[in-house]
Amino acid sequence: MPQIRSSRWPKASATHVAGALLALSLAWTTAPQLVERARYATHLAPLDDSARRADILGASYTSISAVKRALPPRAPVAIVMRTHADADLAVFVNYFLFPHPTRWYEGAQTYLADPQRPPYAVWLDRSVSNEARLVTPEELARR
């Protein structure tokens, strides 16, 4: 004889209840972040690519853009890092300066000692700021 259920819905197991509670707790904690990111995305949506990058990356991007505007087309550029710790910023400088050929140097003295050094140099020192600066060899000699 078939068993008759007293309810239309199957009984919820402890696993189902625990899963539902976990999902609700995650939704509760992540909802404010999701709303904030949606607001930021709507803020960025009407901006052009350059303005979006400036908004997200800040002074790093605006300084790299200024350096790129100051350089002659396709001029070779040295990226001179004060220490190896500046390498992460150097990656972005290298990317945003494309199509300029770049060569990296760790320390001003390394750049100055290279007889084949590029005529233009970008100085990176994250201990001071996240900005890239176009400098002359004379300025680097004083560092």
Q: Where are the domains of the chain?
A: 13-46, 49-141
pLDDT at 11: 63
Q: Cα separation of 136 and 117, whole Å?
A: 12
Secondary structure (DSSP) of 103-140:
EEEESHHHHHH-TT--SEEEEE-TTT-S-EEEE-HHHH
Per residue of the chain (143 residues), give pLDDT as tens: 566 555 565 666 778 778 888 887 777 788 889 899 999 999 999 999 999 999 998 899 999 999 999 999 999 999 999 999 999 999 999 999 999 999 999 999 999 999 999 999 999 999 998 999 999 988 888 87
pLDDT at 134: 95
pLDDT at 74: 93
pLDDT at 13: 75
pLDDT at 3: 63
Whether residue 63 contacts residue 107, with contact meaning beta carbons closer than 8 Å, is answered with no
Is this model's pTM higher than 0.75 or not?
no
